[in-house]
């Protein structure tokens, strides 16, 4: 198949039987649930665009593994051009979806895992790289959705995995036999797990010898026995349940918690088992890739934010007010800087022994750190431009009421030539862009905490070399050591 259609994706969901809980209830037909259907629609849109002539230019590439056109979401980063193309793809998708499309975590995971399992094979003679390549071929041929499970629940964060009073606070191997391993634990913030066919679990931190049972990486069917998805609540979700006042009328995002209740994993899907020295680099590489991804998707969402603000200004009758136009420039400064750093991180990428290219960590983390702080300012300026209409608008149910609906249409109208309905629609979108907790928190904590971003920048920046530049220009001679 190699490239699946939107319709084939929806059909494939019928064959998946996730164990899932939403608001305390076990849900059988999970993809029909109103809190999930808008999320699967986001993923379905990626398949639609894979088959669209314009979208295909962004989303489809050639695989050297199976010698077919495949989804870019399922390909190793084999050149700087691959990394640039990824950022451009994510920006394009954000323009079309207005938020998360829930496939980039798996994309970033396969390359970060690939780099380290290749190194592990070189040192220990393991077969992890061959297993991973076989798995990627399988995924490419079927064009499946892959999500990555990275963030553990962590328990007492002052303690290492092996030091926890409850040993299951990090995902771990609890049994091994000739057929495979058994794992137990939980991963949180698992974007798109209920839209996915498969998952890939990655260690969440560096490990030591005492933590070797936690140094585990593997692939698993998203509906495997013992895998339990628990819906993670967000703001504005009651509107999806009611089917109105949605903001983004087609698409949304969720991030469940995924429990591994003694899940069996066959050896062919195990990519790391106890080789603890590779766990830290694996997750650091994932973090750098995923912060790099944010430079594309969050710039794209930023374009939507700017466009929503500008449309609101038009509908309010103030498109040419000087302070509003100044805000546009400030907003563009932020979004283009986020994007530019990720493009630069692609250009400055480095080839690893596996053949996979790794992004420049300073530039990718600068992009993410800038997003975490400054994109909030872009959102604030959007709200300033839009005005108080962002909140407190009556429900669509009120507009539909024959007694008060005509009055609402009368009093909530803006400029001539624009309907009240369209004015309300743009303010609903702004409301969602500004107040949807899943996206706002993701701007700050997505792909790791801001402190992690700062530490990565500092650890990879050569401060001593910068001192030498300054001392040389100041005429300070270094003492020989």
pTM attached to this predicted model: 0.92
- What mean pLDDT do residues 28-56 have? 95
- Residue (of 264, 265, 282, 244) closest to 396 by Cα position: 244
Selected residue with higher pLDDT from 435 and 14: 14
SS3 content of the chain, % helix, strand, coil (to 5): 55, 15, 30
Q: Where do the H-state alpha helices sit in 166-242?
A: 237-242
Q: What is the pLDDT of residue 86?
A: 97
Answer yes or no: is pLDDT of 444 > 80.
no
- The string of pLDDT tens digits covering residues 375-414 is 999 999 999 999 988 888 999 999 999 999 999 999 999 9
Q: What is the pLDDT of residue 459?
A: 80
Written as one string, the DSSP assignment of 390-448 is GS-PPPHHHHT-TTTHHHHHHHT--STTS-HHHHHHHHHHHHHHHH-HHHHHHHHHTTS
Residue pair 233/139 in contact by the 8 Å Cβ criterion: no
**pLDDT grade for 1, boundaries at 50, 70 and 90:** low
- The string of pLDDT tens digits covering residues 285-310 is 999 999 999 999 999 999 999 999 99
Cβ neighbours of residue 213 closer than 8 Å, sequence gap 6 or more: 162, 172, 173, 174, 274
- What mean pLDDT do residues 457-470 have? 83
Q: What is the pLDDT of residue 344?
A: 96
Three-class secondary structure of residue 360 per DSSP: coil
Q: What is the pLDDT of residue 370?
A: 85
Q: What is the pLDDT of residue 446?
A: 63
Distance in angstroms (rounded) separating the CA atoms of residues 426 and 389: 10
Cβ neighbours of residue 173 closer than 8 Å, sequence gap 6 or more: 181, 182, 183, 213, 214, 216, 273, 274
Distance in angstroms (rounded) separating the CA atoms of residues 208 and 161: 9
Cβ neighbours of residue 326 closer than 8 Å, sequence gap 6 or more: none
- What mean pLDDT do residues 187-209 have? 95
- Residue (of 379, 385, 264, 276) closest to 320 by Cα position: 385
Q: What is the pLDDT of residue 445?
A: 62
Answer yes or no: is pLDDT of 283 > 80.
yes
Residue pair 62/324 in contact by the 8 Å Cβ criterion: no
Answer yes or no: is pLDDT of 208 > 80.
yes
Q: What is the pLDDT of residue 348?
A: 97
Three-class secondary structure of residue 477 per DSSP: coil
Q: What is the pLDDT of residue 38?
A: 92
Q: Using the CB atoms, write b or e for 292-309: b if 16+ within 10 Å.
A: bbbbbbbbbbbbbbbebb
Three-class secondary structure of residue 72 per DSSP: helix
Distance in angstroms (rounded) separating the CA atoms of residues 277 and 209: 8
Written as one string, the DSSP assignment of 105-132 is HHHHHHHHHHHHHHHHHHHH---HHHHH
**pLDDT grade for 456, boundaries at 50, 70 and 90:** confident
Joined together, the tokens standing for residue 253 give 């995002």
Distance in angstroms (rounded) separating the CA atoms of residues 386 and 429: 11
Residue pair 219/271 in contact by the 8 Å Cβ criterion: yes
- Residue (of 3, 8, 37, 50) closest to 194 by Cα position: 37
- CATH node for 282-461: 1.20.140.10
Distance in angstroms (rounded) separating the CA atoms of residues 50 and 52: 6
**pLDDT grade for 454, boundaries at 50, 70 and 90:** confident
């Amino acid at each position: 198949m190699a490239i699946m259609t939107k319709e084939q994706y929806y059909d494939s969901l019928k064959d998946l039987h996730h164990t899932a809980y939403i608001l305390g209830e076990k849900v059988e037909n999970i993809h029909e649930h109103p809190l999930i259907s808008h999320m699967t629609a986001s993923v379905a849109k990626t398949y639609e665009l894979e088959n669209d002539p314009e979208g295909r230019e962004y989303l489809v590439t050639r695989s050297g593994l199976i010698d077919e056109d495949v989804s870019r979401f399922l390909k190793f980063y084999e050149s700087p051009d691959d990394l640039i193309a990824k950022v451009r793809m994510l920006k394009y998708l954000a323009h079309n979806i207005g938020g998360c499309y829930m496939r980039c975590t798996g994309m970033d995971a396969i390359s970060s895992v690939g780099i380290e399992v290749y190194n592990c094979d070189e040192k220990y003679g393991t077969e992890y790289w061959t297993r991973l390549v076989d798995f990627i071929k399988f995924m490419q041929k079927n064009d499946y959705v892959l999500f990555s499970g990275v963030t553990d629940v962590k328990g007492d964060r002052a303690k290492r995995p092996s030091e926890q009073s409850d040993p299951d606070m990090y995902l771990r191997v609890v049994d091994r036999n000739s057929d495979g391993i058994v794992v137990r634990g939980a991963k949180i913030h698992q974007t798109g797990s209920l839209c996915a066919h498969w998952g890939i679990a990655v260690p969440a931190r560096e490990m030591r010898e005492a933590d070797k049972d936690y140094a585990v990486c593997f692939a698993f069917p998203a509906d495997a026995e013992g895998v339990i998805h628990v819906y993670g609540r967000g703001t504005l979700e009651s509107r999806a349940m009611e089917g109105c006042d949605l903001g983004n009328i087609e698409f949304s995002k969720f991030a469940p918690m995924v429990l591994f209740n003694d899940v069996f994993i066959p050896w062919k899907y195990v990519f790391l088992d106890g080789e603890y020295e590779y766990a830290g680099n694996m997750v650091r590489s994932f973090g750098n890739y995923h912060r790099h991804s944010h430079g594309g998707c969050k710039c794209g969402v930023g374009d939507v934010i700017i466009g929503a603000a500008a449309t609101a200004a038009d509908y309010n009758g103030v498109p040419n007010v000087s302070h509003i136009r100044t805000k546009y420039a400030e907003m563009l400064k932020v979004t283009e800087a986020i994007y530019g750093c990720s493009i630069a991180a692609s250009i400055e990428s480095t080839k690893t022994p596996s053949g996979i290219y790794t992004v420049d960590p300073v530039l990718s983390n600068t992009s993410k750190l800038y997003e975490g702080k400054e994109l909030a300012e872009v959102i604030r300026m959007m709200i300033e431009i839009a005005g108080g209409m962002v909140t407190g608008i009556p429900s669509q149910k009120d507009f539909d009421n024959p007694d008060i609906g005509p009055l609402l249409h009368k009093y909530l109208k803006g400029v001539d030539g624009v309907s009240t309905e369209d004015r309300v629609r743009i303010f609903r979108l702004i409301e969602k862009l500004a107040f949807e907790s899943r996206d706002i928190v993701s701007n700050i904590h997505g792909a790791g905490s801001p402190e992690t971003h700062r530490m990565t920048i500092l650890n990879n920046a050569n401060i001593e070399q910068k001192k030498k530049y300054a001392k040389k220009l100041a005429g300070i001679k270094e003492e020989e050591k």
